[in-house]
Structure 1
Amino acid sequence: MSTPVRDPAALPRLGWTLLALVLLWPLLRLTDFRPAALFEAGNLQAMGHFLGGFLPPETAPEFLAMLARATVETLAMATAGIALSMLLAVPLGLLMTRSLSISRLGPGRGGWVGQILRGLARGVLAVLRGVPELVWALLFVRVFGLGAAAGVLALGITYGGMLGKVYGEILESTDARPARILLEAGSGRLAALCYGLLPNAAQELVSYTVYRWECAVRASVVMGFVGAGGLGQLMDQSMKMLNGGEAASILATFLVLVLAADGLSGFLRRRLA
């Protein structure tokens, strides 16, 4: 009878798990995280009363027309914001990608210039994503007034920093041998990108871009509370009027948008497989 083989990594994993719990506990205490409070009688009654106001959802034709216009505005805001962010992310992401650096092929190619440019690109991306989109929206609402224009610019700036950073990391983690062979053969950076890196990274790039578009839809709803238009502004009005039925219809519409984004992501991944 063979003796069971002991996992040599079991003890280190247990140690790291215990260390994580020890570090997590004071953080939970600091944030006053008490899940048991959700099940206290008074809190359950308050939540039930609040959720009960959401039924039945509002289906009046006038409200549904307003909801349709707000949905289109939210989609337009999110899509235009992502398009603007890609205009920022693509060149900055390519600039910080060391796999496409011609100066790394050998000495005497001005490698220090490339390092400075990549550092500048990382710094710009850090600044762009370091300021929350809600702060940018508050700023642009004061410039453009109420409406979706402020939301588009806020999303474009913040998500440009996020997309650019992740684009660069995805390209860095992709097998760089095809791109390096092309560069050594005298190819330019654009050809090395298109034929060396993109064939292997396209699925991940598209998946993350669609995911960020889904996040932009959610963010545009939040920014509507500061006057950036769309479903968020309509939700803000409904909540201020204590109209739970309208809020329920808006939330249902938002859920449909998220499911549609998930389906689009899956479809694009299958097409690129």
Structure 2
Amino acid sequence: MEPYATADQVWQGAMIFARIGAVLLMLPGVGESYVPPRIRLSLALVVSLALWPVVSGALPALPETLGGMAGWIIREVIVGLAIGALLRSFLTVLATAGEVVALQTTLAFAQTANPLQAQPGSTISAFLMLLGTTLIFATNTHHLFIAGLVGSYELIAPAKPLVTGDFATMAIRTLGDAFMLGIQLSAPVLVFALIFNLASGLVGRVMPAFQVYFAAAPLSIILGLSVFALGLGVMGTVFIDRYRALANVFAGGAGG
């Protein structure tokens, strides 16, 4: 191997590939189950080669023992999975919003295969998650992922201790913010459903013989989806702005 690459260069490439491969395994759009493994592996190799001249200075020297090498590789894989999990967990914003909208428009029973999850979900939730993934690539937010990979070597340098406490705190805060934002994005439909259900209840009390359910169910679907469609542009804009802010947390290390 020496005529092509030194042992130190091979070690540095393995360290970079361990972190970047783990991140790409979890990233939205790239790390989905429907993406062929060869495509993901090729992308991880290409990105690793591209970033090697940039981040090689932050990598530790080649350990003398096999146990030391395995420990460093496992550490980098854990760091990569943690970063990727944080970026993917924010997609629960759209899943939460979609489930709330589906419940309020009586469409929650309409389950469909969600290509971004390992289980079926409501049709609106699957639509929103696909929309969010499309917006990530349409707005070039995925470029921040590359900057974030470089910045992660400054924020979480391999030579420094692993900050598990900070990871746990950020993960809890990210999931909490994602749930709250999901409820906020679905707020227009929630307000509509509250007003509509109150009006339907009053009609049922005033006119007991009137079949409120048969008249209210179609109106609830039509009007609820109309409110959802009117707010879809704002929903996508708010989501992508907040997602870019999360990605900038790691990308800021590259700029700073």
Taking structure 1 as the reference length, what is the TM-score of the superposition? 0.28
Taking structure 2 as the reference length, what is the TM-score of the superposition? 0.30
Structure with bigger gyration radius: 1
